[in-house]
Every structure is written in C-alpha cells, then in structure tokens.
Homo-oligomer: A and B are copies of this chain.
Amino acid sequence: MSVKNIYELAESLTEHWSPQVIASVNDQYIKLAKIESQLVWHMHQDEDEAFFVIKGEMKIEYKDSIVNLKEGDFHVVAKGTPHNPVAISDSCWIMLIESKSTLHTGEVQTEKTKSLQEQLSPSEIKNNY
C-alpha cells in the first residue's frame, strides 16, 4: 500500500543521471532521476523508454531530429532508436517508464552508467515495491 510522492522524491535525489526505482508496475519499473548536461548516445534494441518531465526542460537528440520536452511533457523513445537525453535547464527532474530488462545506457558502458542494482538499492529512497 505504498504511496510515493514524485515531487518530494525527485527533489531529494542528489546524484545526476542516477535513476532510482520507485515502483514496479507489471513488467515495468517506474524511475525518478535528476539530470544535467547529457547522458550518452545509446539505444534499447527491444524496449521502448518513456520520459516524463516533472520539472525543468530537456531534449532527446535523435540522429535526424531533436525533441524538446518541458514540464508535463510525455514522450516515448521507440525501441531500436538511437538517442541521447540532454538536460536543457540546470535542474531537470524526470520520471522514466522502462521494461525491467532495460539497461541504463543500452549497449554502451560509460562512467555514468548505472547498474540495475544501483537503481534498485537507493540510499535516498526507501523502497518497498
């Protein structure tokens, strides 16, 4: 019977690009993250990835276009599509909806890449999903 307030939890995050799982819904995880600057070009071959902007502005860079996202905007990166998430505002908070199998930066491994364990064992959010 857990209730998570996404505004309070997102605000409490201290590390950027470190998604934290707040809920499990069927075969998907719901995650919150603070972001700044860019992540990295990557893709998820078999999984869609949904972005919902809680606060601030960001953009999704595609190979041939850019999608700008402001507060309240919901956008789905289709599976198999190379993309690079980039924060526009200094402080941007997002919600992600991803398959439980989705890797943070897809097939790419960088110093920013977080393991699923790191997303599931947050020090800052008490989980009981």
Contact = CB atoms under 8 A, between A and B. Distances in A.
- Looking at chain A's contact residues, the main secondary structure is strand
Contact of A3 (B48, B62, B69): B69
A30 interface: yes
Q: What is the interface residue range for chain A against chain B?
A: 35 or more
A68 B70 CA distance: 28
A23 interface: yes
A80 to B, nearest CB: 13
Interface string A11-38: 0000000000011111110100000000
A72 B27 CA distance: 22
Interface centre among A3, A24, A75 (most CB of B within 10 A): A3
Contact of A74 (B5, B50, B67): B5
Contacts of A26: 27-28, 47-48, 79, 99
A97 B4 CA distance: 15
A47 B50 CA distance: 20
Given A5-B74, A24-B48, A26-B79, 8 more contacts: A2-B75, A3-B73, A6-B72, A7-B71, A23-B76, A25-B28, A25-B50, A26-B27
